[in-house]
Structure 1
Amino acid sequence: MQPPTPWEIATPSPSWRLPGVAMAGFRARGTADLGVVPFPAVTLAIDLGPEPLLVADGGRQVRGSAVIGLAPGGLWGGGREVQCLQVRLSPVVAHTVLEGFAAEGSPLAGWDEVWGRDAARLEEQLRASASWEERFALMAGALAARRPEGRPVDKEVAYAWSELARSHGTARVDALAAEVGWSRKRLWSRFRSQVGLPPKQAARLVRFDHAAHRLAAGGHPAAVAAEAGYADQSHLHREVADFARLTPSAVAREPWLSVDGVAWSSPGYLRG
């Protein structure tokens, strides 16, 4: 089981919850330093602290607010006196409100590069807000305002993503294509152009995320492998190594996962 988290975490009231969106506020005293375990969402990390947040993926560093794409293997984040608003978006929502960022496959970008000219003004408003609840309301309004003007997502792609998330990555891509009335090739092409990963890779990521949380909750690797639909424990081991560059036992101890029961207790936002 995970040790107590050093983070102070704030979550929004139900009135600020949007389909395909989850938000949480984080604050850490002193120095925070942690690796990011890959997960099936696009994340906005909006820096609200007195010193810059640093996010790095080995090839690039972003100081301040950042946007993290799908499957960010090898990503690290931290700093001193960290305070940030974290927004997780399902990739179909991210495609719309972030002008296709999810589909570009970028693992890391600056917040202003993705959000555009209003990024600095919105960040200032978030910093000036008197409470986390005000920040959640402000961010929810900003996201809602961008949806009508954003890039559309095919309803077939949205359905396929929803089924992958609902099934924890075990839904068959051929069956999904048949359900929406598309060929496998068409679903693969349209899904990748809007979600940012081919359907099978997206399914692998969703299944890994489910398995990682079961491991962090204390599940034995053999039992987790069977529950998550892996062929055997060795298959789970290979997938964990591929996504996180760790063993299943090491993933289970990752501090990144220790906050999920509080901050992201309802992962249904992935299906929005």
Structure 2
Amino acid sequence: MAGFRQRFSAPVDIAMVAHPSVTLIVDLSEDGGIVHDAHGRRRRGSFVAGLLPDRLRAGGRSGECLQIRLSPIAAAAVLGASAELSGMVVPLEDVWGRAAGRFEERLRAAASWDERFAITRDLLVRRPALRDVDPEVAHIWRRTLGGRGRVRVDELAGDVGWSRKRLWSRFRTQLGITPKRAARLVRFDHAAHLLAAGHGAAAAAARSGYADQAHLHREVTSFTGLTPTAVADAPWLAIDDVAWPDSWPGRPATIPAVR
């Protein structure tokens, strides 16, 4: 999780770049609030963005918010949904009901960001697991992340003793995304952070396992509607090295053992 506070002389509009997580934005603004726009619908307040939300934008004149990134495995337990949120952006209240408003008020009343983080951590840990995914699906998701999207689906299926067809079906049913699409998303995320870190498109393509720069360009456009140059300058990624240091390029990737 990470906390953000910002004020602008005029309203801003920031494109949110796709990320391999379910994202919660908890609006803590006292006035104005966070405005988000997805599927052509503008709303205000806290929201949840599933994997691959369509052209999501957020902004406003002023804002204070807590951003939480959950793996789709954790989202199934904490939110009771993962597959249902894929491609969706919904108000947090639609997912948590009245508990969402009580959560926001507790965070607003906190004396510091550390206290807010502690409240959030406690809430997430104490919530009863609403839904589980198969251990095999969880393992394959972690393998995909650890391999930065460069592990073949056939290899993943063999890893857990499943057929390709069974893997495809269970993964998509439980996480709302196919194993191949998940791998593409993870690989794109690695490339996007390389671009934001100052690497050129050709270098980012080579380091991320794309066939060439044109291949990277197609994938970036597919996931964001932007060019690699625009993604490199995206405000959404600009401070990831501070807010989410563990995901920044250069950190060693680890692949969990088979369960």
Q: TM-score, normalised by structure 1?
A: 0.87
Q: 1:74 aligns with which of 32, 35, 55?
A: 55
State yes or no: 1:28 paired with 2:24: no
Deviation readout 1:41-72 (Å, 9 max, x if unpaired): 11110000122211111332221111111112
* Counterpart-to-counterpart distance in 2, 1:178 and 1:163: 12
The 5-angstrom pairing of residues 113-124 of structure 1 reads: 113-124=94-105
Which residue pairs with 1:19 in the alignment?
none
Which residue pairs with 1:192 in the alignment?
172
Q: 1:143 aligns with which of 109, 124, 142?
A: 124
Q: Is the 8 A contact 1:94 1:102 kept in 2?
A: no
Q: Is the 8 A contact 2:29 2:64 kept in 1?
A: yes
The one-letter code matched in structure 1 to 2:169 is S
Which residue pairs with 1:48 in the alignment?
28
State yes or no: 1:253 paired with 2:233: yes
The DSSP-based 3-state class of the residue aligned with 2:80 is coil
Unaligned runs of 5+ in 1: 1-22
The 5-angstrom pairing of residues 1-272 of structure 1 reads: 23-30=1-8, 31-50=11-30, 51-146=32-127, 148-267=128-247
Q: Is the 8 A contact 1:94 1:100 kept in 2?
A: yes
The alignment's C-alpha RMSD in Å is 1.9
* Counterpart-to-counterpart distance in 2, 1:188 and 1:140: 33
Q: Which runs of 4+ in 1 moved over 3 A?
A: 101-104, 268-272
The one-letter code matched in structure 2 to 1:71 is L
| % identity of equivalent residues | 54
Cα distance change, pair 106–222 in 1 and its aligned pair in 2 (3 A): closer
The one-letter code matched in structure 2 to 1:24 is A
Deviation readout 1:112-137 (Å, 9 max, x if unpaired): 11122311111111111111111111
| Aligned-residue offset at 1:100 | 1.4
Count of residue correspondences: 249
* Counterpart-to-counterpart distance in 2, 1:249 and 1:162: 29
